Amino acid sequence: MTKLDQFKDDLTLLLEAGFIAVNQSDEDSAKKLFKAAEVIEPKNILSNIGLGYLYLHKLELPKAIKLFKEALKQEPNNEMAKTFLGIAMTFSKSNLEEGEKILSETNKSTHDKEVKKLSNTALDFVEKFVKKAPSPAEVQKKKHK
């Protein structure tokens, strides 16, 4: 047994703590926790998904999208990665349609009620706020009226 093997039982705890750190806006801790999990089990894609989740929270969308796509290369059917990828893509006009498609497909195919709930919420948000949001030019016109 190597020194690293003694921490394998803590992998889930490290990953969960990383997601909690993201939700608490503690970027430093989140990164350290996800990296520690990656050291313990390099092939576990949850470290990438966690870092992608961090970048999604920071609206660093290209970084988030890249990490979610990397996770999906390893596990093409990972519904969490698909849902987060869809969410990240819907925040940019150039990827909006593809993001909506990913969210819709995941929503239809999933049996996980939490993934279904998240994808539904994201699709509702896109419909109500992203698609109907005024452009910067429209905002300027309203200011000058």
- Mark the ranges of the chain whose per-residue pLDDT is less than 70: 133-139, 145
Predicted local distance difference test score (pLDDT) of residue 145: 66
pTM for this one?
A: 0.87
Predicted local distance difference test score (pLDDT) of residue 94: 93
What is Dmax (Cα atoms) for the chain? 73
Question: What separation in angstroms does the CA of 65 have from each of 7, 73, 95, 108?
Answer: 29, 12, 10, 21
Are residues 84 and 68 in contact, defined by beta-carbon separation less than 8 angstroms?
A: yes
Are residues 24 and 50 in contact, defined by beta-carbon separation less than 8 angstroms?
A: no
Within 13 Å and on the Cβ side, how many CA atoms surround 119? Answer: 25
Give domain 7-130's CATH number out of 3.30.930.10, 1.10.150.120, 2.70.98.10, 1.25.40.10: 1.25.40.10
Predicted local distance difference test score (pLDDT) of residue 65: 98
Predicted local distance difference test score (pLDDT) of residue 135: 66
Q: What is the pLDDT of residues 65-93, one digit of tens each?
A: 999 999 999 999 999 999 999 999 999 88
